[in-house]
């Protein structure tokens, strides 16, 4: 197991303007006193360890740049733009921060150890609306809010941001504050696979990966969240130029054994749940991350992806017709 140390800006993290203490953070510091520091000079003395820096203040930029894991904490004060430009994660709830730090120390055990990753870093150029697609409204509700409603019971939800990151964070925090935001600063040069790899660091045993430009049928999302094993999701062919899933049957179970641009049984829709240790490296598509690990069981998941104006019209019709 890695050996971690934690470097805090104590004033910015622990005490708010009214003088009230964030007791959960103080308790974590007390329980892990041998690992916790409050000055950046400790980093140079502990280079053989994994350094986690937590702050919200521009005065800590030098400290943050030296760290291996950079967390902006907005539970007390707003995270400064200079910090947002270099962090790996932004967290807005004290309990969520303590839970995340505890997970680094492998202290948290869950009945189903799952991290949900929603990839929302892209620019959505093909749609041509000048906004990240997860903020697009369909029938009066944005795609990201639809996800948040469906994922209310999930404990570890991570949203990957890049293009229009501040707008995405603001929209999510209006609905839910215990989300972890993961920054893909290279979103212009990388694919969704890179976003998933970033968010899968220090994740739970399983990762459920969802694309931010997708609407998932409510009944199928219930089926997804009840699943406690790996799967690759697909649907009947509805897109003009999809990647396809090639499958086979074995002992009554259907398995995905290949992705293809030419032919297949179903359209790949980007929904998958796999062990987090399968998502260590990659910058392209999500399916390229999981392709070396096939075969994986198949799950039928009814979805609508929004890439073009025609996709948007079809998604709107689908939602208005009760997902039929």
**Over 70: is that where the pLDDT of 127 sits?**
no
Distance CA(222)–CA(247), nearest Å, equals 23
pLDDT tens string 266-318: 999 999 999 999 998 888 899 999 999 999 999 999 999 998 888 899 999 99
Q: How many domains does the chain have?
A: 2
SS3 259: strand
Position 53 in a domain: yes
Q: Quick one: 24 and 133 in the same domain?
A: no
Position 99 in a domain: no
Q: Quick one: 52 and 140 in the same domain?
A: no
Task: Quickly tell me which residue has 């360890």 as its tokens.
Answer: 49
Would residue 140 be called left, alpha or beta, if left means φ above 0 and alpha means ψ between -120 and 50 degrees? left
Q: Quick one: 178 and 253 in the same domain?
A: yes
Final residue in a domain of this structure, among 66, 86, 106: 86
Final residue in a domain of this structure, among 33, 66, 86: 86
Collect contacts of 261-266 with beta carbons under 8 A, ≥24 apart.
Answer: 265/234, 266/234, 266/235, 266/236, 266/237, 266/298, 266/300
CATH number, domain with residue 253: 3.90.550.10
Distance CA(192)–CA(212), nearest Å, equals 10
Position 172 in a domain: yes
Q: Quick one: 159 and 228 in the same domain?
A: yes
Q: Quick one: 155 and 77 in the same domain?
A: no
- What does each C-alpha distance from 252 to 3, 98, 236 come to in angstroms? 45, 44, 20
pLDDT tens string 218-246: 999 999 999 989 999 999 988 777 899 99
Q: Quick one: 273 and 153 in the same domain?
A: yes
- What does each C-alpha distance from 197 to 65, 119, 176, 219, 248 come to in angstroms? 21, 10, 23, 28, 28
Position 25 in a domain: yes
Which residues lie across from 21 on neighbouring strands? 15
Residue 192's domain comprises 114-320
Position 100 in a domain: no
pLDDT tens string 49-102: 889 999 988 889 999 999 999 999 998 888 999 999 999 999 999 899 999 998
Distance CA(316)–CA(320), nearest Å, equals 6
Distance CA(62)–CA(67), nearest Å, equals 9
Kindly report the pTM of this predicted structure: 0.84
SS3 225: helix
Task: Quickly tell me which residue has 């470097």 as its tokens.
Answer: 7
Percentage, residues of the chain above pLDDT 90: 67
Structure confidence at residue 287 (pLDDT): 96
- What does each C-alpha distance from 258 to 24, 278, 288 come to in angstroms? 47, 16, 10
Q: Quick one: 313 and 200 in the same domain?
A: yes
* Distance of alpha carbon 94 from the chain centroid: 19
Position 105 in a domain: no
Q: Quick one: 34 and 118 in the same domain?
A: no
Q: Quick one: 122 and 38 in the same domain?
A: no
Distance CA(256)–CA(268), nearest Å, equals 10
Q: Quick one: 153 and 297 in the same domain?
A: yes
Position 297 in a domain: yes
Position 95 in a domain: no
SS3 19: coil
Final residue in a domain of this structure, among 67, 86, 105: 86
Q: What is the DSSP string of 94-115?
A: HHHHHHHHHHHTT----SS-EE
Q: Quick one: 77 and 181 in the same domain?
A: no
**Over 90: is that where the pLDDT of 14 sits?**
no
């Amino acid at each position: 197991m890695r050996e971690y140390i934690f470097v805090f800006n104590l004033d910015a993290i622990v005490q708010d303007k009214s003088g009230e203490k964030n007791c959960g953070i103080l308790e974590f510091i007390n329980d892990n006193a041998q690992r916790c520091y409050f000055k950046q000079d400790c980093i140079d003395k502990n280079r053989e360890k994994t350094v986690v820096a937590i702050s919200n203040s521009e005065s800590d930029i030098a400290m943050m740049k030296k760290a291996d894991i950079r967390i902006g904490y907005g539970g007390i004060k707003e995270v400064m733009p200079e910090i947002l430009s270099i962090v790996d994660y932004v967290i807005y709830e004290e309990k969520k921060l303590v839970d995340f730090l505890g997970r680094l120390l492998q202290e948290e055990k869950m009945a189903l150890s799952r991290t949900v990753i929603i990839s929302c870093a892209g620019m959505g150029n093909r749609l041509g609306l000048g906004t990240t697609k997860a903020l697009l409204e369909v029938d009066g509700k944005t795609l990201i809010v639809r996800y948040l409603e469906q994922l209310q019971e999930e404990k570890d939800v991570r949203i990957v941001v890049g293009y229009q990151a501040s707008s995405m964070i603001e929209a999510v925090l209006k609905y839910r504050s215990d989300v972890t935001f993961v920054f893909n600063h290279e979103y212009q040069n990388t694919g969704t696979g890179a976003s998933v790899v970033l968010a899968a660091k220090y994740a739970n045993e399983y990762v459920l990966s969802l694309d931010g430009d997708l609407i998932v049928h409510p009944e199928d999302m219930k089926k997804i969240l009840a699943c406690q094993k790996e799967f690759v999701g697909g649907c009947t062919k509805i897109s003009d130029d999809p990647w396809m899933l090639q499958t086979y049957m074995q002992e009554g179970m259907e398995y995905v054994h290949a992705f293809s641009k030419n032919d297949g049984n179903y359209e790949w829709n980007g929904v998958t749940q796999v062990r987090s240790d399968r998502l260590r490296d990659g910058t392209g598509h999500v399916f390229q991350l999981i392709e070396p690990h096939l075969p994986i069981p198949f799950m039928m998941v009814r979805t609508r992806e929004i890439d073009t104006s025609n996709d948007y019209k079809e998604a709107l019709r689908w939602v208005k017709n009760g997902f039929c």
